Amino acid sequence: MTSRIRKIALEEHFTAPGFERYSKVFTKLMDSASQAQLAARLADFDELRLAEMDRAGIDISVLSQTGPSVQAEPDQAQAIRYAQENNDFLARQIQRHPDRLAGFASLPMHAPRAAADELERAVNDLGFKGALVNGHTNGVYYDDPAYDAFWDRMQALDVPLYLHPTDPSPIPSAYAGHPELAGAVWGWGVETGTHALRLLFGGVFDRFPRLKLILGHMGEGLPMLRWRFDSRFAVYSHGIRLERRPSEYFGRNIVITTSGVCSPAALQCAIDEMGAEAVMFSVDYPYESTAIAADFIEQAPVSEDVRQLVCHGNAERLLKLR
């Protein structure tokens, strides 16, 4: 380790053997040299990954299968089996570097009870810190009441769910002729922010008030609009009754990471809107630069107390790390 500030990173990806079958939907958009480099970095749990963590002062990386993982699997039984295989594979990698690596489970959200069972197995038997799910499953969103059984188990296990971007299904006509807007540039953030708001306005956080949902990419833009959610929901409530104002679920139930948004101004906005205890450092390895992310958080114009919370203190508390 260098003398840099201790960091824990939460949106750090790998791939298990065979899971390229899902991620090729977006890797095929890259040139072959980039694809090869990405594949090597996703499959590595040793020299490449640990050296990059060392250079950036990242003490612990919480690893997750790169998207869309089993969320793109059409067959429910296969999804259940592949999620288990993925989680067992990840557990074996973590065992080789238990001080440096931790895990978020892949879950077969096709079947809420099977997903809850796999989460429980991953947390209790494999020592995972929660789960990362890549958005909807075949167009189903998790505010559906069928998922209350899943949320109930997640709350009881007291672990967070990282809601990671995916493509909307189907792709909205607003993106027609603009493939650059449909993915990481814009569309993934809109899709993921919308899914989080479905959970909020669907009352999931009222039914399960201790749930923690993690959003990446500086909260997928939501912190900036928090005031407007209250203002306009007061006028256009459509008969929906929530126990709190929409803004109050931010920080309380929705927490965020800095993955892929290395902007000091955006960081300050997120901290001002949500509180310093709701914002956590992350990189989005290997899609983003670890060095840029680490330099950004070390140089951001925040107090040292806040920097320590964002770099590691909040993650330690949320994930019950040392």
Q: Residues interacting with Zn ion, by CB under 5 A?
A: 11, 284
Dihedral of the CA atoms 127, 128, 130, 132 (nearest 10)? -160
Residue 9: strand pairing partners: 61
Strands of the 101-103 sheet, one edge to the other: 7-14, 58-65, 101-103
Question: Catalytic: 284?
Answer: yes
Closest separation in Å from C-beta 158 to Zn ion: 24
Query: In whole angstroms, how large is the CA radius of gyration of the chain?
Result: 19
Where on the phi/psi map is residue 42: left (φ > 0), alpha (ψ -120 to 50), or beta?
alpha
Closest separation in Å from C-beta 296 to Zn ion: 17
Our CB check for Zn ion shows the closer of 11 and 220 to be: 11
Closest separation in Å from C-beta 244 to Zn ion: 29
Our CB check for Zn ion shows the closer of 142 and 188 to be: 188
Please identify which of the residues 88, 284, 295, 305 carries the catalytic annotation.
Answer: 284
Our CB check for Zn ion shows the closer of 10 and 274 to be: 10
Residue nearest to Zn ion (CB): 284
Locus of tokens 């965020």: 256
- From the number of C-beta atoms within 10 Å of its C-beta (0-12, 13-18, 19+), residue 254 rates as buried
SS3 of 10, please? strand
Q: Is the link from the previous residue into 246 a cis peptide, with omega within 30 of 0?
A: no
Our CB check for Zn ion shows the closer of 61 and 247 to be: 61
Our CB check for Zn ion shows the closer of 52 and 284 to be: 284
Q: Which residues contact 224 (CB under 8 A, 6 or more apart)?
A: 269, 273
Helix axes 47-56, 32-43, angle to 10 degrees: 80
Q: Phi and psi dihedrals of 169, rounded to 5?
A: -135, 115
Closest separation in Å from C-beta 67 to Zn ion: 7
Q: Which residues are catalytic?
A: 284
